């Protein structure tokens, strides 16, 4: 039994079942697809959140709304709500874009290192003999 | 100072041996404490206050990841709030959904701050969690702290207004909803939210500067920032945060954070090494600060009755003389193997 090979397999399995699991799932997508998917999710979730916030704001000021409803300019109120929605959506889409890019970059780097080690394991580069030690790799 | 270092060493050695068991025990105790605290603060519903149910949930939290604790805590709070009325329950659920949708997507995986922030705020040490989080975690943990602050004020409002909510008829939904929403999103909550977020960001920023004793400097600065926000909030918005209690709590938070830092990250700045080197792709500026460690002789001096076999493990106590280590060579070697 090549103990170094077994040790490497253990490390790779731990990566797959631990922190690397999420990274591997992310890297199944192309970067553009992953970021687009996250932004679409954000769009729908932020829309739901906006209406929930609106409902909470109405609940907290319901007496005021009932007293002043007939004096309100609904067009102005509608414009304010629309602008608020656009600002909230733009903010969250921007945050989602940045975080999705950062997450994908980190996942890609992590999976790249894993793939290199997996390929070396498959090619038996470092584990040709039980006495093989980590040393300089050719071409690097 | 060396006493803390030695105690920290022993604790780390014990943790290294029994980490699985200790992790599960800590998760169980934290979950149990949180659930019973929710029961003590709210406790309106006999089903969700049942100690057996809470014990079972704590056992489940022991098995699952840390994320289970805030999830079960949220379910308990929502369940308790429905006892005050359907409208109160729906508002509580809506607040948690907003938190989930807007913030939870961006917070770190284990979200420990969501559970610890309300607990420490309840005991008056509001600044403790943001200071410790700023020293140890990523900046995105600021969302966890923010969620924790909102949850704390939601629970405080439900607890404070429970009698009024039970007195008001279900048809007075306007007054009931106003009590809950305005009580939660009060000026006090806003001031505390901004204060704690600012504490975390500033402590994190100072830590990232990397000068000697930056962490030790960041802790009192964090405390001062919190007090500044509290005083400004009181002057500008007329919040009802008691200043004396905030001062005592902040001093306690700073002391507790300092002690935790000594235990968890004892750095020996007197042996800082700076080096520069380059490889094919980058030029490196490296600053290495060794962690302070108790020597074998110091541990034996503390426990003269311990035999060689009773010590945690010689491999834990073997220390290399730092003057003999060539950090540059070792770093170059490790980089070549990437």
Instruction: Write down the pLDDT at residue B333.
Output: 63
Residue B264 touches partner A, C-beta closer than 8 Å: no
What integer best gives the mean pLDDT of chain A? Answer: 83
Min Cα distance B279 → chain A (Å) is: 12
Instruction: Write down the pLDDT at residue B225.
Output: 94
- Does A52 fall in a domain? yes
Phi, psi of B21 (to 5 degrees): -65, -40
Q: Do B175 and A66 touch (CB under 8 A)?
A: no
Q: Which of A40-49, B225-234, B237-246, B326-335 has the lowest mean pLDDT?
A: B326-335
- Set of chain B residues whose Cβ sits within 8 Å of the Cβ of A11: none
In percent, how much of chain B has pLDDT > 70? 83
Instruction: Write down the pLDDT at residue B110.
Output: 63
Is residue B325 very low, low, confident or very high in pLDDT (cuts 50, 70, 90)? low
**Rounded distance, CA B236 to CA B157, Å?**
23
Min Cα distance A42 → chain B (Å) is: 8
CB B203 within 8 A of CB B131: yes
Instruction: Write down the pLDDT at residue B220.
Output: 94
Cβ-Cβ contacts under 8 Å for B157 (sequence gap 6 or more):
B179, B180, B183, B184
- Set of chain A residues whose Cβ sits within 8 Å of the Cβ of B174: 62-63, 66
Interface A–B counts its CB contacts (< 8 A) at 51
Min Cα distance B179 → chain A (Å) is: 8
Question: B residues 99-138 near A, CB within 8 Å?
Answer: 101-102, 105-106
Question: A residues 33-62 near B, CB within 8 Å?
Answer: 42, 45-46, 48-49, 52-53, 55-57, 59-62
Of B98, B105, B178, which is closest to A60 when you measure between CB atoms?
B178
CB B294 within 8 A of CB B318: no
Find the mean pLDDT for residues B162-177.
Answer: 82
- Does A132 fall in a domain? no
Nearest to A94 by CA among A46, A54, A50: A46
The three-point CA angle B50-B52-B54 to 5° equals 70
Q: Is the pLDDT of residue A131 over 90?
A: no
**Rounded distance, CA B263 to CA A123, Å?**
45
Q: Is the pLDDT of residue A79 over 90?
A: yes
Min Cα distance B43 → chain A (Å) is: 24
Instruction: Write down the pLDDT at residue B206.
Output: 93
Q: Is the pLDDT of residue A74 over 90?
A: no
Nearest to B61 by CA among B70, B50, B52, B51: B70
- Does A128 fall in a domain? no
Q: Is the pLDDT of residue B63 over 60?
A: yes
**Rounded distance, CA B43 to CA B57, Å?**
16
Nearest to B70 by CA among B170, B8, B144: B144
Min Cα distance A56 → chain B (Å) is: 7
Instruction: Write down the pLDDT at residue B172.
Output: 79
Cβ-Cβ contacts under 8 Å for A126 (sequence gap 6 or more):
A4, A8, A120, A132, A134, A135, A137
Min Cα distance A98 → chain B (Å) is: 11
Residue B93 touches partner A, C-beta closer than 8 Å: no
The number of domains in chain A is 1
Q: Do B182 and A60 touch (CB under 8 A)?
A: yes
Instruction: Write down the pLDDT at residue A140.
Output: 39
Cβ-Cβ contacts under 8 Å for A57 (sequence gap 6 or more):
B181
pLDDT in tens, B92-150: 999 999 988 888 777 766 678 888 999 999 999 999 999 999 998 888 888 889 999 99
Which domain range does residue A66 map to? 3-123
Residue B174 touches partner A, C-beta closer than 8 Å: yes
Is residue B334 very low, low, confident or very high in pLDDT (cuts 50, 70, 90)? low
**Rounded distance, CA B148 to CA B161, Å?**
20
Q: Do B177 and A59 touch (CB under 8 A)?
A: yes
Q: Is the pLDDT of residue B183 over 60?
A: yes
- Set of chain A residues whose Cβ sits within 8 Å of the Cβ of B102: 46, 49, 92
CB A38 within 8 A of CB A96: yes
- Set of chain B residues whose Cβ sits within 8 Å of the Cβ of A55: 94
- Does A139 fall in a domain? no
DSSP state, A69? Answer: G
CB B206 within 8 A of CB B214: yes
Nearest to B43 by CA among B75, B77, B93, B89: B77
Helix (H, G, I), strand (E, B) or coil at B223: helix
pLDDT in tens, B78-89: 999 998 888 899
Is residue A126 very low, low, confident or very high in pLDDT (cuts 50, 70, 90)? low
CB B148 within 8 A of CB B117: yes
CB A50 within 8 A of CB A85: yes
Find the mean pLDDT for residues A34-63.
Answer: 91
Bridge-based pairing state of the strands B273-278 and B283-288: antiparallel
pLDDT in tens, B237-258: 887 778 888 999 999 999 999 8
Q: What is the distance of C-alpha B74 from the center of its chain? A: 18
- Set of chain A residues whose Cβ sits within 8 Å of the Cβ of B105: 42, 45, 96
Find the mean pLDDT for residues B43-50.
Answer: 88
Is residue B318 very low, low, confident or very high in pLDDT (cuts 50, 70, 90)? very low
Of A49, A55, A136, which is closest to B102 when you measure between CB atoms?
A49
Higher pLDDT, B230 or B300: B230
- Does A96 fall in a domain? yes
Question: B residues 180-219 near A, CB within 8 Å?
Answer: 180-182, 185
Q: Is the pLDDT of residue B310 over 60?
A: no
CB B115 within 8 A of CB B207: no
Of A63, A134, A140, which is closest to B178 when you measure between CB atoms?
A63
């Amino acid at each position: 039994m090549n103990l170094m090979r077994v040790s490497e397999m253990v490390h790779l399995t731990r990566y797959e079942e631990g922190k690397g699991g999420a990274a591997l799932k992310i890297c199944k997508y192309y970067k553009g697809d992953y970021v687009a998917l996250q932004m679409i999710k954000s769009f729908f979730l932020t829309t739901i959140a906006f209406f929930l916030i609106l409902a909470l704001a109405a609940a907290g000021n319901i007496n005021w709304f009932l007293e002043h409803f007939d004096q309100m300019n609904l067009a102005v109120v509608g414009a304010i709500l629309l602008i608020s929605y656009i600002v909230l959506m733009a903010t969250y889409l921007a945050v989602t874009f940045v975080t999705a890019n950062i997450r994908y970059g980190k996942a890609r780097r992590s999976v790249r290192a894993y793939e290199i080690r997996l390929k070396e394991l498959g090619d038996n580069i470092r584990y040709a003999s039980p006495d093989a030690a980590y040393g300089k790799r050719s071409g690097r | 100072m060396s006493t803390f270092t030695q105690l920290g060493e022993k604790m780390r050695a014990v943790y290294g041996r029994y980490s699985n068991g200790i992790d599960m025990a800590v998760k169980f105790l934290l979950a149990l404490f949180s659930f019973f605290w929710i029961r003590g603060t709210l406790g309106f519903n006999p089903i969700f206050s049942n100690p057996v149910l809470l014990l079972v949930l704590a056992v489940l939290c022991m098995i699952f990841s840390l994320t289970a604790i805030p999830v079960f805590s949220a379910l308990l709070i929502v369940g308790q709030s429905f006892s005050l009325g359907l409208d109160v329950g729906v508002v509580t659920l809506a607040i948690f959904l907003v938190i989930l949708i807007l913030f939870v997507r961006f917070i770190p995986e284990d979200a420990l701050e969501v559970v610890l922030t309300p607990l420490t705020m309840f005991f008056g040490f509001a600044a403790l969690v943001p200071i410790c989080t700023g020293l140890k975690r990523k900046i995105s943990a600021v969302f966890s702290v923010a969620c924790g602050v909102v949850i704390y004020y939601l629970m405080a409002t439900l607890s404070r207004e429970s009698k009024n909510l039970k007195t008001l008829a279900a048809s007075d939904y306007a007054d009931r909803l106003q009590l809950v929403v305005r009580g939660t999103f009060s000026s006090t909550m806003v001031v505390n939210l901004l204060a704690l977020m600012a504490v975390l960001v500033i402590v994190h920023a100072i830590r990232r500067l990397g000068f000697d004793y930056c962490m030790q400097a960041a802790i009192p600065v964090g405390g001062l920032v919190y007090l500044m926000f509290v005083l400004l909030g009181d002057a500008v918005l007329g919040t009802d945060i008691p200043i004396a209690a905030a001062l005592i709590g902040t001093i306690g938070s700073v002391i507790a954070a300092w002690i935790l830092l000594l235990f968890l990250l004892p750095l020996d700045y007197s042996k800082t090494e700076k080096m520069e080197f380059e490889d094919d792709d980058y030029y490196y500026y490296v600053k290495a600060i060794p962690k302070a460690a108790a020597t074998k002789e110091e541990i034996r001096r503390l426990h003269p009755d311990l035999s060689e076999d009773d010590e945690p493990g010689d491999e834990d106590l073997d220390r290399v003389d730092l003057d003999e280590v060539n950090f540059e060579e070792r770093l170059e070697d490790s980089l070549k193997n990437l």
